[in-house]
Amino acid sequence: MEEIKNQIESLREELHDHNYRYYILDDPIISDYEFDQRLKKLQNLEEQYPNFADPNSPSQRVGGGVTKSFETVPHKYPMYSLSNTYSKEELIQWEERLRKTLGEEARIDYTCELKFDGASISLSYEKGALIKAITRGDGVQGDNITTNVKTIKTIPLKLKGNYPAFFEIRGEILLPWEGFNKMNEERAALGEPLYRNPRNTASGSLKLQDSRVVAQRPLSCFLYSLAGENLSVSTQFEALQKAREWGFKVPDSAQLVDSIDAVFDFITSWEEKRKSLPYEIDGIVIKVNSLFQQEELGFTAKAPRWAMAYKYKAEQASTCLNGIHYQVGRTGAITPVAQLEPVLISGTTVKRASLHNADQIEKLDIRIGDTVYVEKGGEIIPKITGVDTQNRGHSEDRVVFIENCPECFSPLKREKGEAQHYCINELSCPPQQIGKIQHFIGRKAMDIEGLGGETVCLLYKEGLLSNIADLYDLKKEQILPIERMAEKSVANLLEGIEKSKAKPFAKVLFGLGIRYVGETVAKKLAKEFKSIDRLAEASLESLIHTEEIGDRIAQSVVTYFASPQNQLQIEALKNHGLQMESIQIEQDFHEAFVGKKFVVSGVFETFSREELKVEIEYLGGKIASSVSSKTDYLVAGEGMGPSKKEKAEKLGVVILDEKSYLAFKQKPS
């Protein structure tokens, strides 16, 4: 038994260390594959010997715990907000106020830090183990979200070095752009409204009930302040260094300066640079460096007197609201879009801005003809931040959210707890029908050559297509008479459709457009359930018990297969000969590929990009969508963007062109 215990403990220690190397130092020494193998081994041992359980085991990273409602708990040390300013004059005035307390001659050093734009968190550590994670809440008490926070890989579950026995550390949980954009790509593929900005998405993620879902969100956490007694640090800058030594992620952007002029230099230097950071910041935080001076200065009711946030102004303009257009997405989600008098903001002409949903419209109390403020900040789509109340449109032009679908006139529905209105006429609302077919033929789904989104619209309008199964009934004679359809393109189109019958089951499943079933989930379901029949019969429980499948997805799958129309459609697709089962392929691992991360880009002569990806996975490699420090190989075809190449070169990623890839593959395994 003692032996088992030692084995478990040394595995844990080893995994904590690999995690630290990968996420904090960005310098892994084993492959992902080897890491996963060791983690599996640990999970197996923990399952077999539950008496050696440890709430801070690296196995907690994958999540598992579900929190139905988060417990409210008091903060041991209150979490204050920060006074903020947009002007340098006010910073000078701030220093004058500091001098009133600290003395005219006092030496004041400042730590300048980036103001990370995410959700603040307070972490408690006891004897080097994370014991609690609490949201800011109202500053006095917050929500206990420990289970979810443990899944964030940049937060250490066990510390290193010489840490105090008990302390709290504060930081910001955020969602870097890369992960955020990826989540939105998946949302777009699902036909769901996009997430608005990384900050809201990060804080929303923290409040999810299912920690397994949180584990999949690419969240990160940067730490910036310590709280506790006898911490044996005397300055803020030292605190940052110490936190780094203990294993926390503390960006090295912080700078210690000795005058307010140097603070201005820091602010100026980040004014442009911030735009190329991999995550969002909304300003700079300036803190009096000496903790002794901090103590002398103390707090107001809301914020410390020794710190100040300098915020960068978002680029904004005012223009006239000409009207509102309601878009209907593939899933029926309604998005109100403001139609604006064109206006120039930071170099681009803006004509439209998202109004998100009915609540937003009501909050702004917006009227057609209003002069509105438009901002292009960290958001992907410009947004309306306010209305010029001096200059209001007529009250009879007040915008009332539509009650019927603008396309099919069915009544709209809004589920409890959801912000979005939906058109529920899923089966015969034109944009939903067209959107579903477009999704099905899309690159990530069936990838039908010779058929594009425009043609789908055309065929829909001609009455030749109303659902995906109709594609397989299309006849040459029907299509030819349609305008713009030459003989050759019709032949290509039909050939593309015919070829799609060979596409693997996972692609078909993704193509069906089941709500919340994105590419990854479709692959997972295809692998686990193997056939559409078994998936259709799966109970809610068995779905939920599938790794990576949460309640929401499981429920959606069950609902989908319960619909008689969907059943008919699947029958029709089956009869047309589409792949409705996973083909078991024996994998043939190649040592040079196993566990390595590949990025594929450009076009190739002897194989398509898709074929290449399948081959790499077959040989044991992993495919990533963009180059990062974790990438091992970039397989570069013709026409790859120069920036990708540059990035790969900078990160020391091995670049293989078509010829060298073929040679690489030929090397004996």
Active site residues: 115
Choose the stretch contacting ligand AMP; rule: CB under 6 A; options: 109-117, 361-369, 564-572, 577-585: 109-117
Q: Which range in 35-43, 421-429, 478-486, 630-638 contacts Zn ion by CB under 5 A? A: 421-429
Residue 667: name the closest of 604, 566, 592, 572 by CA. 592
Strand bridging mode 421-423 / 333-345: antiparallel
Query: Binds 405, which of Zn ion, ligand AMP, none (CB < 5 to 8 A, cut-off by type)?
Result: Zn ion
| Inter-residue contact 557 to 524 (CB < 8 Å) | no
Least CB distance from residue 70 to ligand AMP, whole Å? 18
Q: Which residue is nearest to ligand AMP (CB)?
A: 120
> Is residue 84 at the binding interface for ligand AMP, with CB under 6 A as the rule?
yes
* Strand-strand pairing, 141-143 and 255-257: unpaired
Q: Which residue has the tokens 């109390």?
A: 365
Q: How far is the CB of 316 from ligand AMP (least distance, A)?
A: 18
- Closer to ligand AMP by Cβ: residue 202 or 309: 309
In angstroms, give the least distance from the CB of 143 to ligand AMP: 15
Verify binding: residue 120, ligand AMP, rule CB under 6 A: yes
Using the rule CB under 5 A, which residue among 239, 250, 423, 445 binds Zn ion? 423
Applying CB under 5 A, the span of 115-123, 265-273, 408-416, 483-491 interacting with Zn ion comes to 408-416
551 burial (CB, 10 Å; 0-12 / 13-18 / 19+) is: middle
Question: What is the rounded CA–CA span in Å between residue 7 and residue 45?
Answer: 9
Q: How far apart are CA 570 and CA 190, in angstroms?
A: 19
How many whole angstroms separate alpha carbon 120 and alpha carbon 323? 38
Nearest-approach distance from CB 415 to Zn ion, in angstroms: 16
Measured between alpha carbons, how far is 46 from 11 in angstroms, rounded to an integer?
11
| Contact between 23 and ligand AMP per CB under 6 A | no
* Closest CB to ligand AMP among residues 6, 81: 81
| SS3 (DSSP) at 663 | helix
Decide: is 634 part of the binding site for Zn ion (CB under 5 A). no
408 binds, among ligand AMP, Zn ion, none (CB under 5 to 8 A by kind): Zn ion
| Residue number, 260 or 402, with CB nearest to ligand AMP | 260
**C-alpha to C-alpha distance for 298 and 115, rounded to whole angstroms:** 21
Contact (Cβ atoms closer than 8 angstroms) between residue 398 and residue 364:
no
Q: Which does 429 bind (CB under 5 to 8 A by kind): Zn ion, ligand AMP, none?
A: Zn ion
Neighbour-count burial for 469-493, b at 16+ CB within 10 Å, e otherwise = bbbbebeeeebeeeeebeeeebeeb
Residue from 20, 35, 224, 248 binding ligand AMP (CB under 6 A): 224
Residue 192 as a binder of ligand AMP (CB under 6 A): the answer is: no
| Per-residue contact flags (x/-) with ligand AMP for residues 85 to 104, judged by CB under 6 A | --------------------
* Cα–Cα dist 378/118, whole Å: 12
The first and second tokens of residue 112, run together, are 């300048």
Contacting ligand AMP within 308-347 (CB under 6 A): 309
SS in 3 state form for 244-302?
HHCCCCCCCCCEEECCHHHHHHHHHHHHHHHHHCCCCEEEEEEEECEHHHHHHHCECCC
CB of 75 to ligand AMP, least distance (A): 12
Q: β-strands 597-601, 622-624: how paired?
A: parallel
423 binds, among ligand AMP, Zn ion, none (CB under 5 to 8 A by kind): Zn ion
d(CA 185, CA 644): 19
- Write down how long the chain is: 669
- Is 209 a binding residue for ligand AMP by CB under 6 A? The answer is no
153: nearest Cα among 95, 101, 216: 216
Which CB, 402 or 536, lies closer to Zn ion?
402
Among the listed residues 42, 183, 285, 616, the single contact to ligand AMP using CB under 6 A: 285
Find the part of the chain contacting ligand AMP (CB under 6 A) among 30-38, 114-122, 396-404, 623-631.
114-122
User: Of 171 and 435, which has the nearer Cβ to ligand AMP?
Assistant: 171
Token pair belonging to 37 = 């193998």
Q: Report whether 597 contacts 32 (CB < 8 A).
A: yes
Give the range of 76-84, 212-220, 327-335, 393-401 binding ligand AMP by CB under 6 A. Answer: 76-84
**How far apart are alpha carbons 439 and 518 in whole angstroms?**
11
The option from ligand AMP, Zn ion, none interacting with 309 (CB < 5 to 8 A, set by class) reads: ligand AMP
Gap between the Cα atoms of 422 and 429, Å rounded? 11
22-30, 79-87, 502-510, 549-557 -> range binding ligand AMP (CB under 6 A): 79-87
Query: Going by C-beta distance under 8 Å and a sequence separation of 6 or more, which residues neighbour residue 503?
Result: 446, 447, 578, 579
3-state secondary structure of 654: strand
Work out how close the CB of 168 gets to ligand AMP at its nearest, in angstroms, rounded to a whole number.
14
# chain residues binding Zn ion, by CB under 5 A = 6
Distance (Å, whole) CA 569 – CA 560: 11
Alpha-carbon distance of 178 to 218, in angstroms, equals 9
Type of residue numbered 397: D
Does 405 participate in binding Zn ion (rule CB under 5 A)? Answer: yes
Residues 125-164 as x/- pattern, contact with ligand AMP by CB under 6 A:
-----------x----------------------------
Q: State the nearest-atom distance from the C-beta of 312 to ligand AMP, in Å.
A: 13
Q: What is the C-alpha separation between 280 and 283, in angstroms, rounded?
A: 9
Residue 556 contact among Zn ion, ligand AMP, none, beta carbon within 5 to 8 Å by kind: none
Who's near 84: CB < 8 A, 6+ residues apart? Answer: 283, 308, 309, 310, 311
Q: Hey, is 452 helix, strand or coil?
A: coil
If the CB atoms of residues 227 and 402 are measured against ligand AMP, the closer one turns out to be 227
Contact criterion met (CB below 8 Å) for 38 and 15: yes
| Binding partner of residue 115 among Zn ion, ligand AMP, none, CB cut-off 5 to 8 Å per kind | ligand AMP
Rounded to whole angstroms, how far apart are CA atoms 398 and 385? Answer: 17
Residue whose tokens read 């959606």: 556
Span near Zn ion by CB under 5 A; candidates 144-152, 254-262, 427-435, 570-578: 427-435
Interaction of residue 357 with ligand AMP, rule CB under 6 A = no
Does 115 participate in binding ligand AMP (rule CB under 6 A)?
A: yes
Which residues 429-458 are close enough to bind Zn ion by CB under 5 A? 429
Measured from the CB atom, the residue of 172 and 426 that comes closer to Zn ion is 426
Q: Which does 120 bind (CB under 5 to 8 A by kind): Zn ion, ligand AMP, none?
A: ligand AMP
Q: Are strands 307-311 and 281-288 parallel, antiparallel or unpaired?
A: antiparallel
Under the binding rule (CB under 6 A), the answer on residue 266 touching ligand AMP is: no
Nearer Cβ to ligand AMP, position 172 or 632?
172
Q: How many residues bind to ligand AMP according to rule CB under 6 A?
A: 12
Rounded to a whole number of angstroms, the minimum distance from the CB of residue 302 to ligand AMP is 8
Asked if 408 interacts with Zn ion (CB under 5 A), we say yes
Q: Which residues bind ligand AMP (CB under 6 A)?
A: 81-82, 84, 113, 115-116, 120, 136, 172, 224, 285, 309
Q: Which residues bind Zn ion (CB under 5 A)?
A: 405, 407-408, 423, 425, 429
